[in-house]
Each structure stands twice: as C-alpha cells, then as structure tokens.
Amino acid sequence: MSEGAQVVSALVVVACLAVGFWVMAKYEPDPKDSPPASCSRSDDDVPLSKPVSGVQLCEALNRPDLPVLLGTPNDRALGAYSNEATSSDKQDVMPTDPEATVQLEGYSVKLTEAEDIKLSDLTDSEYLTFKSGERRTVLGHPAFLYSGQTIGIVFKDGKGSSGSGGISRNLLVAKDPKDGGGLYEISIWRQDDLPPDGTALRRLAEQVLPTVPGWPAG
C-alpha cells in the first residue's frame, strides 16, 4: 500500500467509527448519570514497538477541556477508546497505526499516529482526492486540512440501511517541522451530521499535539 493510499484509508476508518458511535449514542444511558470517560483499550489489541501507544494518544486527547476546545462547553464525554494494533493470522494483514477516539454527546474526535509517512510523499494527485483540501502550517509544522464523508445509518421497521452521513474535518500534521517523517491526523465529526467547526479542529490540534509523547519541544 502506498503512503497516499494509507492516508486515504483513514477516511474509511472515520466512516466506520461514525457508524458505531451513532448506534452507541442511541442506546447510551444518560451521560449525566455516568462518570467521566476514561481511556480503555480493546481486548484484541497486541503491543507493538511504536514510539507512541494508542493509550498515550487517548490520554492526550481525553482532556477535561476537550468540549471547550470544540466550542461546545456543555458537551460531555461518553467514551474514550484506543487501538494499538490488529491481531491477525493472515500474512497480508498489517497492524494498524496507534489511534484513539473520544466520543462526546455532540462530537467525536479521533487521533492517529502514522510513523512512516511524510506529507511531502503525497503527490499533487493524491492531495486532490481530498475535497476542499488546503495546505496549512500548525505549530510551525507542515499540515494539510481536508474534508471527508461519514456513513449514516437509518433504522426503519426494524431494519437498518446505510447512506451518506455527515462531514468530517481532518488535519494531517507532520511530526517534524522539516517533514522528516511521520505525521499525526486529527479528525472531528458531529453526531447530528452538521458540518464540524474547522477553527475548533485547529485549536484542538494546537493544544493536544504538544502533549503527545515525543512531540518536539519549542
């Protein structure tokens, strides 16, 4: 799989997560009766020799002021989850990159670390596969902002069907100011399918990324 294809595949992950969290939110107990979300790890995860673990990403993302950074101060976290790797006996199935997701009442937020990809490795044609993509600079690091499409689920007469969901906003940020290798991706999408706030995404990146272990100081 090429570097560009790996990044494009992140949209599929975002879409799948959006479906799962939408269903969970429908049957989740009243969050006011629940304790604050804490980071959990899948029972199927296996440890990897990665610079950053999924749990560490989750701890950086699941911060008390997350609703404030998203512009929804009255929002409440329903769950926080991390993924370190995917176990498989199949030879062609590769482990996933470390990732974490926090689901709030109104928003879902996902943070992923990719170790072997550079923004500069993405060709112009691959950049164009992202709708409304824009090259940016975040915290002095090269970045790329783009929009994606989630998948929606509709239940009627006891049956479920899938279709186009809401819009996700996604920000790729190089780990190194000189784009020497590796990047983080932060994605946000709303539970009500309204367009998410791109300004909130940048604000979130500027506060969360410096707290991730290994982020260059200064």
Strands (E), 19-158: 39-41, 77-83, 99-104, 107-114, 131-138, 141-156
State residue 74's pLDDT score. Answer: 92
Is the pTM of the predicted complex or chain greater than 0.75?
A: no
Residue 17 lies in a domain: yes
Residue 218 lies in a domain: no
Residue 30 lies in a domain: yes
**Residue of 157, 214, 197 whose CA lies nearest to 73:** 197
Q: 75-84, 91-100, 136-145, 185-194: which has the minimum mean pLDDT?
A: 91-100
Residue 217 lies in a domain: no
Q: Given pLDDT bands bounded at 50, 70 and 90, which one contains residue 150?
A: low
Percent of the chain with pLDDT over 90: 38
User: Identity (one letter) of the amino acid at 155?
Assistant: F
Rounded CA separation 100/93 (Å): 20
Instruction: Give the total number of structural domains in the chain.
Output: 1
More confident residue, 191 or 1: 191
Residue 216 lies in a domain: no
Residue 76 lies in a domain: yes
Beta bridge partners of 147: 131, 169
Q: For residue 81, how many C-alpha atoms fall within 13 Å in the half-sphere facing its CB? A: 17
State residue 18's pLDDT score. Answer: 45
Phi-psi sector, 91: left (phi>0), alpha (psi -120 to 50), beta: alpha
Q: What is the DSSP string of 191-205?
A: TT-PPP-HHHHHHHH
Residue 118 lies in a domain: yes
Residue 161 lies in a domain: yes
Domain that holds residue 115: 3-211
Does the pLDDT at position 55 exceed 80?
yes
